[in-house]
Structure formats: C-alpha cells, structure tokens
Structure 1
Amino acid sequence: MADLIKDVVENVISGVLKEILKKTTGKATTRRRKRQTRSATTGRFVKKTSQPRKPAKKQTSRRRTAAKRSRQRSS
C-alpha cells in the first residue's frame, strides 16, 4: 500500500516537473532587426558610419531663487 502511494506521488511530481520545464524552454523573444540601407549606385548594403556626438546644449531654464519664490507667493 505504501509503495502504491509512493509511486502515485512520484508520478505526479515527475509529471509536474516535466510540464514546468517544457513551458520554460524556447520562449525567448525574437530580436528586431533594423533595415539596412542600400547604396544608390551599386545596390549593395552599406555599413553605417558612426556620427560624432554633438556637445550638450546649455541649460536655458533656471530655477527660481528663494527671494523670487517668496515674492511670487506674496503677490
């Protein structure tokens, strides 16, 4: 009787493990590929040259000073 219960429990556990492992494999997302540009003259694919980075723009908006904020609050 104990062997029968043991067999049933082992079968159930092994079945559940197989089910879990089966679902986890092969679910990787496919990578999107960017379109390649073709040369206008030859029609072959052209490697993109890396463009130099532009310098950062200066910050134009400034935070109000404490005096300006208190003056705004009072009016």
Structure 2
Amino acid sequence: DVLGRKLIRPEVIETTVAGACYLAGMGVGLWRSTGELRKIWKVQREFSAQMKAPARRKRLASWDAALQRTLLTVS
C-alpha cells in the first residue's frame, strides 16, 4: 500500500528456489528461452494499493524520519 504499486504473488512463492531451478533447467536445455518460462509462471493473487496519496506520503515521511533517527544512533 505504501508504495502505491500493484503486487503480484506467484503460485510458487519460493522465488529464489524457483529462479535457481529455472536457470538450471535452461542450462541443461529443458527450456530454451525465458519466453518458455513465462508460459509456466502463474499468478496466484494480485494486490492493488488502497491507500490514498496523502496518507501514503505521511507514512513514508514517518518511515524516513524513523530511519534517519536509527542511522544517527548507529553513527
């Protein structure tokens, strides 16, 4: 919500493992292109941002302020 972007959750949520498997499969010739992989990749669910822009800006400003305080503490 804070980013104001649509998020897509794939059926396979272990994306690191899936990516490694896809690369290995391409390496041994199981798939010849990323286009072939796109055909097997499936969306489980899509999420759309619901937060209005003013609320988003306020939350991001609060996050940035908290981050700055943390960085000052660490320095």
> Is TM more than 0.5 here?
no
TM-score normalised by the chain length of structure 2: 0.27
TM-score if structure 1 supplies the norm length? 0.27
Instruction: Say which one has the larger Rg.
Output: 1
Between Structure 1 and Structure 2, the one with more helix by share is: 2
- More RCO (CA 8 Å, sep 6+): 2
